[in-house]
A and B are shown apart, each in its own frame.
Chain A
Amino acid sequence: MKAESQSRVFEAVPGSLEPIRDFITTFATAHDIDKKKIFKLCLAVDEIATNIINYGYRLADIDEGTIHVCVSYRNRQLTVILEDHAIPFDPIKKGMPTPEELMKPVEERPIGGLGIFLARKSVDHFDYEYKEGKNHNIFVVDID
């Protein structure tokens, strides 16, 4: 019997990025989800988790932050929710590079700014909520 949902708490440190991806991959693979979709989901989650680790908790001056990862599969949708108690940060309010900017030669581009773009573009639905003192980043992949 495959679990409908699983959750785990990870330390908010760079060394947790791969274990978070592995946790999601193991769950998604057990539900026979296409490898390409799993990769893109992991990329999206990795980008947001990186922001939480590198900026969210640092700016909040919290040394021992955590990221709560919940992954679930219902109604042909795979959903990952990341919860953290770092500073409130809504990735949807962050500007995205325009198609023109993405076409620019690399020499004329800023070095940053691609992470949130990749996070939002790599899943079918991305949402954000701040409630009960926590950021909730929600990633949904539709399964055909």
Chain B
Amino acid sequence: MGFTVKKEIFEKYIAFTLCGSLDSSTAPQFNEEVRQVILQNPQTLVLYVDELNFMSSAGLRVLIFAKQKLGTAASLILVRPQEQLLETLRMTGLIFSVSIVDQYPE
């Protein structure tokens, strides 16, 4: 299954499309991508995750890192997470710190 991440930079937001498995072997790759875009100080970071089949705490740590670095005014948006990922976000309380939408932009 592996993991792929695709980055797109738009005028008002930066988007990543994540596919496959985000575990501790693949999270460093995503973390590095996030670290680089944070330098551009985006106010909205969008993650297209409908094809992300697995995410462990290593992936959650990247989300926490991103939100902490972006600051409270910035938005972290997850588009169409699978049910299992939603449950992980609920269990850990991270669901309150991200926005879940069916599509972006609307």
* A contact set with B: CB distance below 8 Å: 14-15, 17-18, 21, 36, 39-40, 42-43, 46-47, 50, 53-54, 102-107, 109, 111-112, 114-115, 117-118, 121-122
- With A and B bound together, what is the CA distance between A118 and B68 in angstroms? 21
**Considering the chains assembled together, what is the distance between the CA atoms of A80 and B61 in angstroms?**
26
Can you list 22 pairs linking A and B with CB atoms under 8 Å apart?
A: A21-B21, A39-B84, A46-B23, A46-B54, A50-B23, A50-B24, A50-B56, A54-B24, A102-B93, A103-B96, A105-B72, A105-B96, A106-B96, A107-B67, A107-B68, A107-B71, A111-B61, A114-B92, A115-B57, A115-B58, A117-B92, A122-B91
Docked CA distance A91–B65 (Å): 24
A46: which B residues are within 8 A, CB to CB? 23-24, 54, 56
**When the two chains form their complex, are residues B24 and A17 in contact, meaning their CB atoms are under 8 A apart?**
yes
State how many angstroms separate the Cβ of A125 from the closest Cβ of chain B. 17
Give A106 to B88 CA distance when docked, in angstroms. 15
Residues of chain B with a CB closer than 8 A to A54's CB: 24
| Alpha-carbon distance A111/B62, docked complex (angstroms) | 8
CB-CB under 8 A for A15 and B88, given A21-B54, A105-B96: no
Taking CB atoms, residues of chain B closer than 8 Å to A112 are: 57, 61
Sorted nearest first, the 4 A-B pairs with minimum C-beta distance are: A14-B25, A102-B93, A106-B97, A115-B57
The answer, yes or no, to whether B39 is at the interface (CB within 8 Å) is no
- Contact of A111 with B56 in the complex, beta carbons under 8 Å: no
Residues of B within 8 A of A (CB): 1-2, 21, 23-25, 54, 56-58, 60-61, 63-65, 67-68, 71-72, 83-84, 87-88, 91-94, 96-97
Residue among B57, B58, B64 facing the most chain A CB atoms (10 A cut-off): B57
Cβ–Cβ < 8 Å partners of B94 in chain A: 106
* Closest chain A residue, CB of each to CB of B97: A106
B56 touches A118 (CB 8 A): yes
B92 touches A36 (CB 8 A): no
Q: How far is the CB of B31 from chain A (nearest CB, A)?
A: 11
Contact B23–A18 (Cβ < 8 Å): yes
Q: Tell me which residues across on chain A come within 8 A of B25, comparing CB atoms.
A: 14-15, 17-18
B residues in contact with A109, CB < 8 Å: 64
